[in-house]
A and B are shown apart, each in its own frame.
Chain A
């Protein structure tokens, strides 16, 4: 949810400070000031320059602009490297470019969801424009070694984009140290409002704008800036502290261990160690995720599933497939996401009902042969 303080910070910008940041009058200049202060705050958090940050409508738009914008601006080359576990915004942007004639290499991942750095090195060629690799995976929480990836991209002189929507404020992002060329951010993953995000674009990067109009946001994103949301995003980032992640990590490990101890035949998906502090993804064998999801929903517990049965395309999660999970196992996967507001009592409540729901569904499953 949006933090109360975020909401409070946003409110004046709907009424009192409602100017258009492009206008020269005082009202406009007040809005402009808020906009540039926000830009500075976001930039500082990732060790970037303010002019290297542009505000967008969120992670999806940032990913689209980063990938398509860089591809279109560098048509003397034609090759993009990404992975098989990207968020749909990156995956589908790359697929769209494939249809337009660009060549895309889809890197494999191992059973924990890590790419192979040697494979990455080998795949970078003269025609490679961009490498796009998700920092922390949204489904299984695995965190890639982006510093090492950045180093490789710098050595080979190719652009490096990373979707940091999940990892932002939860793990260190330092665009200089990690040699990042472009990074996508979203506000609602850090208790900011939905519909706002940002893209970091390293100074000097050749990129083409995707929407035409005014010259806002460094002439890369036309349209009047959404000041209240930008202010809300910034406030949310200011409120996100490292100690929140420590607390979430303890709760995460508590849930993982408790489930492992109390429910038989379960499997944690994603890396145990290099894992997002708020992500838990578990397969409960012999049952299907949508059924489990709605059983938990009845108890007020909201989870998501990688089961095909809950997706519109009726295909199991591409991420779970990429880490080698059998479709029947992917169907039984559930993701729990923690926040800084999550308490141990809530987890105990969730575990109790999870245990019951899993047992009930297994009892009626022909695949379950346990007691």
Chain B
């Protein structure tokens, strides 16, 4: 049912951790539906003076697909500038995982949305 790639990420997920000094947090999903993700980002400036994702971690309650998509977002977003990270979408995650079962596409592929929320949170905090 799941691709080899999904199972790899499920078996050894990357960066499924809380970041203590995160400056952006995005919470998405709902335990009632069975999927909940908290995306933590640590944003810093790179040598060109652009803001980028220096570190990213996700805490996930959910199924195999939820865990794999959480792991994948950290691979795709780490090191990217905020402008680049904002462009990562659900399809990028799905494609990078060699696809997801159709039934899981809607409910468990939340990590890109979680990342966007974390970036919004960072930008809001910066303005304040």
The one of B35, B63, B67 in contact with A364, judged by C-beta atoms closer than 8 angstroms, is B67
Sample (10) of A-B pairs whose CB atoms are under 8 Å apart: A288-B62, A290-B64, A291-B62, A291-B66, A294-B64, A309-B62, A309-B63, A314-B103, A366-B27, A366-B61
Q: A309-B62, A314-B103 are in contact. Are A364 and B13 (CB under 8 A)?
A: yes
A286 to B35, CA, bound (A): 11
A286 to B7, CA, bound (A): 21
> Which chain B residue has the least Cβ–Cβ distance from A331?
B34
> Which chain B residue has the least Cβ–Cβ distance from A298?
B11
Residues of A within 8 A of B122 (CB): none
B32 at the interface (CB under 8 A from A): yes
Residues of B within 8 A of A288 (CB): 34-35, 61-63, 66
User: Is A366's CB under 8 angstroms from B108's CB?
Assistant: no
User: Is B32's CB under 8 angstroms from A294's CB?
Assistant: no
A294 to B7, CA, bound (A): 9
B31 at the interface (CB under 8 A from A): yes
Residues of B within 8 A of A314 (CB): 103, 107
A212 to B60, CA, bound (A): 54
A307 at the interface (CB under 8 A from B): yes
B5 smallest CB distance to A (angstroms): 15
A367 to B32, CA, bound (A): 12
Residues of B within 8 A of A298 (CB): 11
A194 to B6, CA, bound (A): 32
Q: A288-B66, A314-B107, A364-B16 are in contact. Are A308 and B61 (CB under 8 A)?
A: no
A365 to B27, CA, bound (A): 12
A144 at the interface (CB under 8 A from B): no
Would you list which residues of chain B between 8 and 37 have a CB under 8 Å from chain A? Answer: 10-11, 13, 16-17, 27, 31-37
The one of A307, A310, A326, A365 in contact with B60, judged by C-beta atoms closer than 8 angstroms, is A365
B3 smallest CB distance to A (angstroms): 13
Residues of B within 8 A of A328 (CB): 31-32, 34
B114 smallest CB distance to A (angstroms): 11
B59 at the interface (CB under 8 A from A): yes
A290 to B107, CA, bound (A): 14
User: Is A327's CB under 8 angstroms from B61's CB?
Assistant: no
A91 smallest CB distance to B (angstroms): 21
Would you list which residues of chain A between 57 and 100 have a CB under 8 Å from chain B? Answer: none
Residues of A within 8 A of B108 (CB): 309
A198 at the interface (CB under 8 A from B): no
Residues of A within 8 A of B58 (CB): 364
User: Is B36's CB under 8 angstroms from A307's CB?
Assistant: no
9 more A-B residue pairs beyond the given contacts A294-B7, A294-B64, with a C-beta to C-beta distance below 8 A: A288-B35, A290-B63, A307-B63, A308-B33, A314-B107, A316-B34, A328-B34, A331-B31, A366-B60
A312 at the interface (CB under 8 A from B): yes
